[in-house]
Amino acid sequence: MLALSRQEEEQVLAACTTTRDRLIIELLLATGVRVSELAALTLTNLLLTARPPHALVVGSVHDPDCTKSRRPRQVPFRSAYASLPHRLSDWITSERDPSGLCRRQEVFLGKPPRGPGRAASPLNIWGFESLCQRVSLRAGVHFSPHVLRHTWATRMVDAGVQPVHMMSVGGWSSIEMLRRYYTPDTDEILAALAAAGA
């Protein structure tokens, strides 16, 4: 599975038709969390005013108290998405639940069922996958939440983040797993070698 190019990343974001959809895609690109972790991410674990802003990943839809790597992790936002914490905070305050009826703590909710007083349930893995399929068709770029995780890993490695830090933030247990997520870009490789004087 390959990461999106920078141009494809821009095309995908431009193809989002709602604020919520764009925030979801951006959060996946900014943090590299697994889709099962995003589905379980709660408002209290989204630390938007911390320095640096980050998500505290403590579980997934498969086990709310345990991540795939068996340990919680703090995942900062990529600097390319520096405005995301503020926009996400504004959206949570003004649009996520403007009626104040929803008691759900998950960040992203599906559409509320019809009928008075009925609250929305959390967006599940299939909801995130479907969103990516819809945006994918509009953008003309095939991707999934997993491709966005590959994209995040690739951008972080290209930015020079140390592999041991990547393993910790990404929830991988080995360098080999990190290597599988990295998609080398010839231009990035040539630029890095030229900058290093190799």
Q: Which pLDDT belongs to residue 115?
A: 63
- Rounded CA gap, 98 and 59, in Å? 27
If 0-12 CB within 10 Å is exposed, 13-18 middle and 19+ buried, where does residue 2 land?
Answer: middle
Torsion on CA atoms 149, 21, 185, 157, rounded to nearest 10: -40
Q: Which pLDDT belongs to residue 197?
A: 64
If 0-12 CB within 10 Å is exposed, 13-18 middle and 19+ buried, where does residue 177 land?
Answer: middle
Q: Per-residue pLDDT averaged across 46-55, rounded? A: 94
- Whether residue 182 is predicted with pLDDT greater than 60 in this model: the reply is yes
Q: What does the mean pLDDT of the chain come to?
A: 88
- Rounded CA gap, 189 and 17, in Å? 34
Task: Give residue for tokens 């141009």.
Answer: 7
Q: Which two tokens stand for residue 64?
A: 């709310």
Q: Quick: pLDDT tens for 95-133.
A: 887 665 567 889 998 876 666 666 678 899 999 999 999
Q: Which pLDDT belongs to residue 66?
A: 73
Q: Which pLDDT belongs to residue 131?
A: 97
Q: Quick: pLDDT tens for 136-180.
A: 999 999 999 999 999 999 999 989 899 999 999 999 988 998 899
Q: Which pLDDT belongs to residue 28?
A: 98
First to last CA, the chain: 29
Q: Quick: pLDDT tens for 68-98.
A: 777 889 999 999 999 999 999 999 988 887 6
Residue ranges and CATH numbers for the domains of the chain are 6-196 (1.10.443.10)
Percent of the chain with pLDDT over 90: 64
Q: Which pLDDT belongs to residue 47?
A: 94
pTM beyond 0.95: the answer is: no
- Left (φ > 0), alpha (ψ -120 to 50) or beta: where does 14 sit? alpha
